[in-house]
Amino acid sequence: MTVPFGARLRAAMDALGPLCVGIDPHPSLLASWGLSDDVKGLEAFSQTVGEALAERVAVMKPQSAFYERFGSRGIAVLESTIRQLRSAGTLVLLDVKRGDIGSTAAAYADAYLDPAAPLCADAITISPYLGFGALRPIVEKAQQNGLGAFVLALTSNPEGAAVQRAVGAGGKTVAQAVIDEISQVNQGAKPLGDVGVVIGATIGPTGHDLTNLNGPILAPGLGAQGGRAEDLRAVFGDALGDVLPSWSREVLSAGPDVAALRAAADRARDVCAAAIAVTA
Ligand SMILES: O=C(O)c1cc(=O)[nH]c(=O)n1[C@@H]1O[C@H](COP(=O)(O)O)[C@@H](O)[C@H]1O
């Protein structure tokens, strides 16, 4: 029987600590690693990050945009990166931020959440701003296949607030309505539901209610965007135990040395684990 994504994620976080490392091969990082800004550089970067961190961190999150830059050859590198990480046993969250009308959302589900698809990951990021209901085909496909999805709720960028914190007819913010929809999907799942939210570590206290979420919370924005582990408690309160802090540039800039990358990831994990433990 397929083990659901939420259970696999909980086990990975318990075994390896609360850490997601993003694979974001920015041109500036390729340059600082001494790599060329081309497919060969992209491939070397991805392989080194995988070699350094696969099996050591709970989740790795390749950012699709940096692979798409190079067209089909970049996508081929993304495919092999996902394969390399998954075969090492690391959970792969593919950051593609998809979201469309239902019939097209179903095609995105086929592209990323079907075990037979070349780009199949353990989970993907999705955007609910065409309506949460339009994402159902993605959520259903994920759950059928023991996979997951993380829905953008309160993003780390300052521009997100105008949309996400707007108050709808029921008196709830748009983000709270999204959180509540996810809570329904995750209801009763043990130890954790398969559908997560994305809430930036940078946003400060907002008063959103995560009590019934019963799902993982991806918290990007640490390091390069100014978020700090010490901020997590103010943002997430009692939900801290389900938070998966995510770091990209801050950790990646320690490369290309494998030992230095590992040390940076260990530091990121340890500061977050300590911040989370304070209130546990
Ligand atoms: O979905 C995401 O991962 C995401 C959501 C969000 O609210 N903010 C955010 O920064 N991200 C992603 O997280 C990564 C952050 O990278 P760094 O700023 O280098 O740590 C990028 O790949 C962003 O696309």
ipTM of the complex: 0.99
Q: How far is the CA of 64 from the centre of ligand 1 (A)?
A: 11
Pairing of strands 91-98, 59-62: parallel
CB 225 less than 6 A from any atom of ligand 1: yes
User: 95 CB less than 6 Å from ligand 1?
Assistant: yes
pLDDT in tens, 105-123: 999 999 999 999 999 999 9
Catalytic residue among 97, 141, 172, 190: 97
Predicted local confidence at residue 54, as pLDDT: 96
pLDDT digits (tens), the chain, 280 positions: 799 999 999 999 999 999 999 999 999 999 999 999 999 999 999 999 999 999 999 999 999 999 999 999 999 999 999 999 999 999 999 999 999 999 999 999 999 999 999 999 999 999 999 999 999 999 999 999 999 999 999 999 999 999 999 999 889 999 999 999 999 999 999 999 999 999 999 999 999 999 999 999 999 999 999 999 999 999 999 999 999 999 999 999 999 999 999 999 999 999 999 999 864 4
pLDDT score for 206: 96
Cα of 102 from ligand 1 centre, angstroms: 25
By most ligand atoms within 8 Å of CB, the mutation choice from 150, 225, 231 for ligand 1 is 225
Distance 35 CA to ligand 1 centre (A): 23
0.90 surpassed by pTM? yes
Non-local CB neighbours of 185 within 8 Å, separated by 6+ positions? 139, 193, 194, 195, 215
Check: CB of residue 188 under 8 Å from CB of residue 218.
no
Do 187 and 167 contact (CB within 8 A), yes or no? no
Max Cα distance, the chain (Å): 53
Of the candidates 181, 216, 214, 187, the one whose C-alpha atom is nearest the C-alpha of residue 199 is: 216
pLDDT for position 172? 97
Cα(95) to centroid of ligand 1, in Å?
8
Q: Which domains can be identified in the chain, with CATH numbers?
A: 5-279 (3.20.20.70)
Instruction: Write down the pLDDT at residue 1.
Output: 73
Distance between CA atoms of 255 and 276, rounded to whole angstroms? 27
Known catalytic membership, residue 97: yes
Res 169: pLDDT: 86
- What would the two tokens of residue 122 be? 């353990």
Which residues partner with 245 through β-bridges? 219
Query: Is the CB of 224 within 6 Å of ligand 1?
Result: yes
Asked if residues 133 and 182 have their Cβ atoms less than 8 Å apart, the reply is: no
Is the Cβ atom of 248 under 6 angstroms away from ligand 1?
A: yes
* Residue 200 near ligand 1, beta carbon < 6 Å: yes
pLDDT at 15: 97
Query: What is the DSSP track for 188-214?
Result: T-SS--SEEEEE-TTS-------TT--
Q: Nearest-5° angle of CA 16, CA 21, CA 25?
A: 155
Residue nearest to atom 16 of ligand 1 (CA): 248
CA atoms within 13 A on the CB side of 278: 14
20 CA distance to ligand 1 middle (Å): 11
**Whose CA is closest to atom 4 on ligand 1?**
220
Residue nearest to atom 11 of ligand 1 (CA): 220
Calculate helix-pair angle for 258-279, 39-53, nearest 10 degrees. 50
**In 3D, which of 153, 149, 159 has the Cα closest to residue 126?**
149
Write out pLDDT tens, residues 227-237: 999 999 999 99
Beta strand residue intervals within the chain, DSSP E: 20-23, 59-62, 91-98, 123-126, 148-154, 195-199, 217-219, 243-247
Proportion of the chain above pLDDT 70, given as a percent: 99
Question: In this structure, which amino acid lies at residue 229?
Answer: A
